[in-house]
Structure 1
Amino acid sequence: MIVDLLLILRSLFEEHLQALNLQEQLRIHLYEIARERDPFFATAGHFFVQEYIGQELAQWGSVEIHTFVVRGKTCNNLILNLSSQTIGKHQDLSPILIGAHYDAVPGTPGADDNATGVAVLLELARKFAAEPAKYPLRLVAFDMEEYGLLGSAEYAGLLHQQQQSLRLMISLEMLGYCNSTPGSQAYPRPLEKFYPNQGDFIALIGNLRTIRDLISLSRNIRKAGLPSQWLPVPNRGLIVPQTRLSDHAPFWDLGYPAIMVTDTAFLRNPNYHKPSDNIASLDLDFLTSVCQGLEQGIRRLA
């Protein structure tokens, strides 16, 4: 009995220590990424963050650069491919693409939008490089999201042209703002009738092809101790335009199964696209739980 109790306590301590280590890693990434980095008006910051992401991903494999041109400027999506578990039956599975945009609008350090998404992307790369998932993973840092989802549209179009199938696309879009005050969460009508009015959950929004994955990912995020809500949307999200405001939308448009993971952006965070979108405004416990839940959820996708 005492031995069993000691084993349980040891396991709980190790889990707590792992969470603290993960939170510190996320904090380090945030302090490197959260800076002005508009690709036209803050080119030094944009270049610095691009280099930082490339160096971090390169620890785990060869980083592919997908280039495209906008207004005469060469832009870069950064891509890391991670192999699946080495069991033979898994070798031909289509990859799961996990993406996050690294550009920001002028005049903001973009801590929540979208340094949080990139920080989680980098930590997922570290975790899945050390212990591969069932599916091969493709981790993509998208450029030019704030100018109309241009990086993800270019890349989705390339995959479609190459007839590349995807098991799932997951867009990490603002993951670190939490407010448990009643009335802190807004919605496009009439969703307020069906979802909580306090902004203390992470939202999963997918097209109809992803309903099983929405349920599975949401369940695993809740197991990590974080409330989670999910929403399936028909017709590429056109009926609720707010559901299309990230890098999953070009994948919806081309028929891919895709999910946005988000703290709901301007529907909750008053710092959206403002100078006040800084690290001090974030809840790092919340962000850490999102990362933990996503890792476990991705590992358990059927």
Structure 2
Amino acid sequence: MPGCASRGGREGPYHRRTHSTRCSARNLHTQGDRHRDRGLIVPLTETHVPIDHNLLKEDLRHLVGERHPLSSPIRLQDAEAYLHRHFSEAGLTVTTQPFHALGGTYHNVIGTALPDTEPFQSAPPLILAAHFDTVQGSPGADDNASALAVMLHIARRVRAMKLARPIHFIAFNLEEENLLGSSAYTAMLRKNRETIHGAIVLECVGYASHLAGSQKTPPGVPIAVPTTGNFLAVIGNERSHILTGSVAKAMQSHLPIVPLIVPGNGEKLPDTRRSDHTSFWEQGFPAVMLTDTANFRNPHYHRPTDTLDTLNLDFIASVAEGLMAAVIELAIRPSA
């Protein structure tokens, strides 16, 4: 919901990106030299495969379109099936979590990548998540097909890597209906007394602008936010400050990053609570949201104009590159 990178003016979907100055949150000591060699940040070596823009576009073409439980239930089910199939084709073990809502049964789709040996298999898992439903009347390209395409890209990459912990890729249903899917999942975690290393929730990551004045700031945000909307926000709560710092540091050589730690669970900054990361916060689990800030940048947010042609594919690819670096930092064993 609240993360969408915007294209001010008519920058095409393949507009080449440029990096802007970073903005650091207070007390978040994670900012290094953004221009240092990427190899000094994470041991990419043979895992650093160029982003396949054609595959990103293919996923987007299949996923963009209204996906609402009442007005477009077949499209919602088709998206669920697409994610299930492509998680499986990526070599993940795929399950679904059913939950009852809105007078029916819905499913979260969970793909798991397991390390090859103990003790790594028993380590607390890293979670990557994005929702796959939309509001009525919107095709949901930025919100949230862009995030799903990035998550699928990472899922296809990790099978070739030596994992230090399990990674759960979760496609949440009914985020737009008061976070129902993620609430069901995190309640299950708490009931089963499970622990996690952390959750990274992707929320609108496909709209970017290099025009001055294209970025607005939610009321009450305690940091100076750039007025050019070509950055990705990394938002965590106080309990998640270590995770937030690690993710921001790993991603910052791939695209401009603005990290923010909110007090408590963000109650005084409600615009920072508008996605599935909040369900983790409320159950006491560390989680961060990656977002282009949705309506604070993207004029198409929750509208019929949130279409594929408004997305910036280079920006999405940069998010995928940065997130891959974060996953390597958090869940991949260093090369010998």
TM-score > 0.5, shorter chain as reference: yes
- Compute the displacement of 1:207 (Å): 1.3
Checking the alignment, whether the CA contact within 8 Å between 1:82 and 1:132 is kept in structure 2 is no
1:112 aligns with 2:142: yes
Q: What 5-or-longer segments of structure 1 have no aligned partner?
A: 1-13
Return the letter of the residue paired with 1:119: A
Q: What is the CA–CA distance in structure 2 between the aligned matches of 1:54 and 1:236, rounded to whole Å?
A: 31
Q: Helix, strand or coil: the match of 1:145?
A: coil
Q: What is the CA–CA distance in structure 2 between the aligned matches of 1:85 and 1:133, rounded to whole Å?
A: 7
Q: What is the CA–CA distance in structure 2 between the aligned matches of 1:235 and 1:180, rounded to whole Å?
A: 33
> Match for 2:109 among 78, 95, 107?
78
Q: What are the superposed Cα offsets for residues 125-172 of structure 1, whole Å, 9 maximum, x if unpaired? A: 111122243221011100000010000001000011000101001111
- Compute the displacement of 1:195 (Å): 1.6
* Equivalent residue, structure 2, for 1:37: 67
Q: What is the CA–CA distance in structure 2 between the aligned matches of 1:133 and 1:283, rounded to whole Å?
A: 31
> Match for 1:195 among 225, 228, 231?
225
Q: What is the CA–CA distance in structure 1 between the aligned matches of 2:201 and 2:223, rounded to whole Å?
A: 26
1:181 aligns with 2:199: no
Return the letter of the residue paired with 1:263: D
Q: What is the CA–CA distance in structure 2 between the aligned matches of 1:133 and 1:263, rounded to whole Å?
A: 29
Aligned length, in residue pairs: 285
* Equivalent residue, structure 2, for 1:68: 99
Q: Which has more helix, going by share of residues? A: 1
Pick which of 107-116 and 66-75 moved more: 66-75
* Equivalent residue, structure 2, for 1:286: 315
Q: What is the CA–CA distance in structure 1 between the aligned matches of 2:54 and 2:215, rounded to whole Å?
A: 28
> Match for 1:258 among 287, 300, 305?
287
> Match for 1:166 among 196, 206, 224?
196
Checking the alignment, whether the CA contact within 8 Å between 1:221 and 1:289 is kept in structure 2 is no
Name the CA shift for 1:111/1:188 in 2 (closer, same or farther; >3 Å). same
Name the CA shift for 1:159/1:193 in 2 (closer, same or farther; >3 Å). closer
Name the CA shift for 1:81/1:18 in 2 (closer, same or farther; >3 Å). closer
* Equivalent residue, structure 2, for 1:4: none
Q: Helix, strand or coil: the match of 1:236?
A: coil
* Equivalent residue, structure 1, for 2:324: 295
* Equivalent residue, structure 1, for 2:40: none
> Match for 1:243 among 244, 258, 272?
272
Return the letter of the residue paired with 1:81: T
Return the letter of the residue paired with 1:189: P
Checking the alignment, whether the CA contact within 8 Å between 2:215 and 2:297 is kept in structure 1 is yes
Q: What is the CA–CA distance in structure 1 between the aligned matches of 2:222 and 2:280, rounded to whole Å?
A: 27
* Equivalent residue, structure 2, for 1:129: 159
Higher relative contact order (CA 8 A, sep 6+): 2
Q: What is the CA–CA distance in structure 1 between the aligned matches of 2:134 and 2:303, rounded to whole Å?
A: 10
1:227 aligns with 2:265: no
Q: What 5-or-longer segments of structure 2 have no aligned partner?
A: 1-44, 332-336
Checking the alignment, whether the CA contact within 8 Å between 2:240 and 2:288 is kept in structure 1 is yes
Q: Helix, strand or coil: the match of 2:214?
A: coil
Name the CA shift for 1:85/1:223 in 2 (closer, same or farther; >3 Å). farther
Return the letter of the residue paired with 1:285: D
Q: What is the CA–CA distance in structure 2 between the aligned matches of 1:285 and 1:85, rounded to whole Å?
A: 34
* Equivalent residue, structure 1, for 2:183: 153
Checking the alignment, whether the CA contact within 8 Å between 2:201 and 2:276 is kept in structure 1 is yes
Checking the alignment, whether the CA contact within 8 Å between 1:142 and 1:152 is kept in structure 2 is yes
Q: Helix, strand or coil: the match of 1:166?
A: coil
Checking the alignment, whether the CA contact within 8 Å between 1:100 and 1:118 is kept in structure 2 is yes
Q: What is the CA–CA distance in structure 2 between the aligned matches of 1:144 and 1:191, rounded to whole Å?
A: 27
Q: What are the superposed Cα offsets for residues 239-258 of structure 1, whole Å, 9 maximum, x if unpaired? A: 10000000010110011000
Q: Helix, strand or coil: the match of 2:306?
A: coil
Checking the alignment, whether the CA contact within 8 Å between 2:243 and 2:286 is kept in structure 1 is no
Q: What is the CA–CA distance in structure 1 between the aligned matches of 2:221 and 2:273, rounded to whole Å?
A: 15
- Compute the displacement of 1:210 (Å): 2.3
Q: What is the CA–CA distance in structure 1 between the aligned matches of 2:92 and 2:120, rounded to whole Å?
A: 20
Q: Helix, strand or coil: the match of 1:184?
A: coil
TM-score w.r.t. length of structure 2: 0.81
Pairwise CA RMSD of aligned residues? 1.8
Q: What are the superposed Cα offsets for residues 61-108 of structure 1, whole Å, 9 maximum, x if unpaired? A: 33111001112211010011111364x443331001111000001111
